[in-house]
Chain A
Amino acid sequence: MTQILVIFLGAIFVNNFVLSRFLGTCPFLGVSKKVETATGMGLAVTFVMTLASIMSYIVYDWILVPLEIEYLYTIAFILVIASLVQFVEMVIQKTSPTLYQALGVYLPLITTNCAVLGVAIINKNEGYNLIKSIFNGLGGALGFTLAIVLFAGIRERIEKNNILEAFKGFPIALITAGLMSIAFLGFQGLL
């Protein structure tokens, strides 16, 4: 139990996917102009990453390990995640138009996201069992959501300020992201 809690909190704060592992930086910079869309993106990532943890665990432990072809994990994970996201998108579109409005537009963006592939590979490398994998995935995704929502909030405030012409837009966003990453370094001693 303690171990799971450590993995969960560790994935959110200490090994934050964006700010200390530098995975999923593309949506972090791309979809963080407004808190609203950032939240939507964060929720979509949470959803997909948790599911991807489960699916990749099943494929790895039930198919690749028994057949002794573990070296194919990268391609197998990509295959699983891409089709999983496609499938989830279709199901959501059919069953819940409201949820599709909120999450659907972001789902295709996550299909080939490195954070999602990253969580599957980290689970495998650490040798986590199913429960630990799920919590690692969920924690990592919540960490991503936390980072992107905070970042979007800061960017909204920055937009309204007088910024040097040369720093407007992405440059100041990158500097902000770097500062946030340094701030998150403070969690390193937590566990």
Chain B
Amino acid sequence: MNIMTIVYSIASIGGLGLLFGIGLGYASKKFAVPVDPKVPLIRDVLPGANCGGCGYAGCDAFAKAVAEGDANPEGCPVGGIKVAQQVADILGLTVEEKDPTTAFVKCNGTCEHSQNHYKYYGIQDCNEAALLPGGGSKSCSYGCMGLGSCVKACPFDAIEIRNGVAVVIEEKCTSCGNCVEACPKGLIEIVPLKNKIRVACNSEDKGKEVRSNCEVGCIGCRMCVRTCEYDAIDFNNQLAHINYEKCTQCQACVEKCPTNAILGLQEVKVEEKAN
């Protein structure tokens, strides 16, 4: 071990370190990407769930899009009006108040109300099961299979499978829309939170088939359309659709519906009536 080895080691490793340090320091100036100072501010007020409900890759991407003017400050469905207000404050804009919304599963065909064609033992995922003949094991090809693809898609634990059908827990739901995309049957839609009168059926089959498949399906009798005084129920493809802007929640249709396919203000009561 001579003294020169020590000198060489220090000089070479130290020199390399210094060289790389200077190189990186120079590169960080030379290749610096300008960042809008508003982006981190906006990012801080966002919920940070990275759910993708806004249509961007995550909260960071959304913050960037808002700062650049590509996205609306109200674009975050999770944060709702509160976050929109804060984001708008940062950007110096104003926002209009919007009604809170929630996801809703348009099916009430629980184990008691409907049947299965056959027993399904395959992969526990709706998107896989929906590829099978008849669109899965459920007798109604439009109905919820209850395998829980939406449960897995929900970043907020706001969906449960109750009695074989997915149910949204509205207190937890932020209407990010992940479940809407996850459902192969297109059963889930975003509805206004305050409107409780909703058609819990998605079947476009004829009345006779609906009857044989499910006790609580919409059989297309048009009773609700005739009952409604406010012209709030549209009817197409053998299925009633409620126009939430016109509906006054008078519950007339809920009482008239022969199969209890329309859910009323108190869902529990409807359940009891069905039993």
Measured CB to CB, the residues of A under 8 A from B are 59, 63-64, 67-69, 72, 75-76, 79-80, 83, 86-87, 90-91, 93-95, 157, 159-162
- Which residues of B1-40 have CB atoms within 8 Å of chain A's CB atoms? 5, 8-9, 12-13, 16-17, 20-21, 23-24, 27-28, 31-33
Q: From A59, which residue of chain B is reached at the shortest CB distance?
A: B16
Cβ–Cβ < 8 Å partners of A72 in chain B: 9, 12-13
Among A87, A94, A95, A161, the residue within 8 A (CB) of B124 is A161
A94 interface neighbour in B16, B33, B123, Cβ under 8 Å:
B33
Which chain B residues border A83 with CB–CB below 8 Å?
A: 20-21, 23-24
Q: How far is the CA of A72 from the CA of B20 in the complex (A)?
A: 17
A-B contact pairs, 26 of them (CB 8 A): A59-B16, A67-B8, A68-B5, A68-B8, A69-B12, A72-B9, A72-B12, A72-B13, A76-B12, A76-B13, A76-B16, A79-B16, A79-B17, A79-B20, A83-B20, A83-B23, A83-B24, A86-B24, A87-B23, A87-B24, A90-B27, A94-B31, A94-B33, A95-B31, A160-B123, A162-B124
B157 interfacial by beta-carbon distance below 8 Å? no
Q: Using Cβ atoms and an 8 Å threshold, which residues of chain A touch B13?
A: 72, 75-76, 79
Distance (whole angstroms) from the CB of B216 to the closest CB of chain A: 28
**Chain B hits for A87, CB < 8 A:** 23-24, 27
Q: Which residue on A lies nearest to B152, using beta carbons?
A: A159
- Shortest Cβ distance from A67 into B: residue: B8
B124 touches A160 (CB 8 A): yes
A58 to B89, CA, bound (A): 54
A95 / chain B contacts, CB cutoff of 8 Å: 31
Query: Could you tell me the dominant secondary structure of chain A's interface residues?
Result: helix
From B6, which residue of chain A is reached at the shortest CB distance?
A69
Nearest chain A CB to B206 CB, angstrom units: 34
Cα–Cα distance between A162 and B9 once the two chains are bound (Å)? 58
Residue B44 CB within 8 A of the other chain: no
B204 proximal to A (CB < 8 A): no
Write the chain A residue with the least CB distance to B15. Answer: A63
Instruction: Identify which of A68, A75, A93 contacts B33 (C-beta below 8 A).
Output: A93
CB distance from B18 to the nearest CB of A (A): 11
Instruction: Given A80-B16, A90-B27, verify A69-B124 contact (CB < 8 Å).
Output: no
- Alpha-carbon separation in the docked complex, A79 to B12 (Å): 12
With contacts A59-B16, A63-B16, A67-B12 taken as known, whether A90 is within 8 angstroms of B123 at the C-beta atoms is no
Docked CA distance A147–B33 (Å): 34
Assess the A160–B125 pair: CB atoms within 8 A. yes
Task: Using CB atoms, name the residue of chain A closest to B126.
Answer: A160
B128 at the interface (CB under 8 A from A): yes
Which 8 A-B pairs give the minimum distances between C-beta atoms? A83-B20, A94-B31, A160-B125, A90-B31, A67-B8, A160-B123, A69-B9, A90-B27
